[in-house]
Structure 1
């Protein structure tokens, strides 16, 4: 785990509208064996850009977390704290897969 990388993700600001540096950070996260360590930073980033998808780059984080299947508790925690476009989409994707609950919570009680 790399605390500096987590901080860079949480505090990321696009440069001249470019999100490519963040894409590179996500590649580092999801190629590591400790990707879960970075989820708080990623969800904090989603909160800061609550109505945004990071010019499409946030999808890399969504797909990376979905591939690992160990993000549900953080997703619920952050959604309850501050629902964002990306956390709402993530919950809908889980529901669309046929699941009725996430981290023991009914998805329909979270999003209606």
Structure 2
């Protein structure tokens, strides 16, 4: 069972909700988030794919990335609802030298998003951008 329930967060424009979210994420940084916690955090990106929470969403990115074992939940999130934040996290993993999670290639996941008719145009473009960026590094 998840320790974290962010279902109450329904407006990335609401200052009180953003402050509460930021405080919860900061507190979670001192604990060991579980798989359900990762899914709950990533769900914020999925529900608000075109928002950054006035910077608060970056706190979620940093909290997740400073934890261990988040990768499967991240890949599930990208497959469910690719968006700028979860795709950026995939790109950052690639920048860090991580090319696979289990048997799944991260660059292939980006290619899948780039070609998906179910992904938003913004997500497809972000995936294409990250593919080009990673290809230029080779």
CA distance in structure 2 between the partners assigned to 1:100 and 1:51 by the alignment: 26
Highest CA radius of gyration, 1 or 2?
Answer: 2
Matched pairs, number: 108
TM-score, normalising length: structure 1: 0.82
Aligned to 2:64: 65
Gaps of 5+ in 2: 112-138
Larger RCO (CA under 8 A, 6+ residues apart): 1
Q: Which structure 1 segments of 5+ residues have no match?
A: none
Report the counterpart of residue 54 of structure 1 in structure 2: 53
Match of 1:12 in 2: 9
Identify if the C-alpha distance between structure 1 residues 2 and 78 changes in structure 2 by more than 3 Å, giving closer, same or farther: closer
After TM superposition, the runs of 4+ consecutive aligned structure 1 residues lying more than 4 A away are none
2:123 aligns with: none
- Check conservation: 2:12, 2:53, Cα contact below 8 A: no
User: What is the RMSD of the two structures over their aligned residues, measured on CA atoms?
Assistant: 2.0
